[in-house]
Amino acid sequence: MKVKMIGAAIVVLGILAGCGASASAPADDHAKEAAKAIIDKDYEATFNLATEDYQKHLLENDPTLQDKSAEEIADMEVFDDGYYQKMLDDGDYIIGAHYGFLEEENYVLYYVEGYTKGMRHEFFFTLTKDGKLINYQTWPTSGYKMNQLKQEILNKDDNTAILEKGGSYEGDN
């Protein structure tokens, strides 16, 4: 009887774990790729990950990409090539996700905190459910709400997940 109950509990836990992951998996599959592009300042990769609307926004508003053609963006050098990998190698980093907007708004908020360029940095970006970038450098909220959402990720509240955490991460939590 105990074996059946333990087996059933393992199956239920497996199903529950699978449900949480599958709801966000398409976006999460692109989160590290987006983080690398943003942290390394790889504007071609960032541009290619973006939705068509966000690409237009970048061409009109981002000083680095403003008025550039797709060919000019493809020819741009990666400004901080290797910083993402250095952050991973250092081990003092965290990559988290907030799924609270997934059902109603169709996007996931991502937060990366790590040690790069000799100091601690925070990176915020948003991906659609299918992994297309709709903004970076911030979230579609600001101030108090932004800090609250970040803390929910770090505290591992409902609708959040830590996708990856370095072995020497020394954040608040």
Angle at 89 between CA 86 and CA 95, to 5 degrees: 85
The whole-angstrom separation of Cα 166 and Cα 160 is 18
Tokens found for residue 114? 């790590």
In the prediction, which pLDDT does 24 show? 52
| pLDDT at residue 13 in the model | 26
Considering just the CA atoms, what is the radius of gyration of the chain in Å? 18
pLDDT at 139 (0 to 100): 72
- CATH number of the domain located at residue range(s) 25-165 in this protein: 3.10.450
Place of tokens 């497996």: 14
pLDDT at 15: 26
Q: Report which of 123, 104, 105 is spatially closest to residue 31, judged by C-alpha positions.
A: 123
Instruction: Quote the pTM value.
Output: 0.80
Strands (E) across the chain are located at 93-98, 107-116, 119-128, 133-136, 160-165
| Under 8 Å between Cβ of 110 and 96 | yes
Query: 116 pairs with which residues across the strands?
Result: 119
Could you give the CA distance from residue 164 to residue 54 in angstroms, rounded to a whole number? 26
| Contact in structure between 92 and 113 (CB atoms under 8 Å) | no
Count of helices and strands (H, E) across the chain = 8, 5
Calpha distance 73→67 (Å, rounded)? 10
Mean pLDDT by groups of 10 residues along the chain of 173 residues: 33 31 68 95 96 94 91 92 91 94 93 85 93 85 82 92 91 57
**Residues contacting residue 153 through CB under 8 Å, at least 6 positions apart:** 96, 97, 98, 109, 111, 160, 162
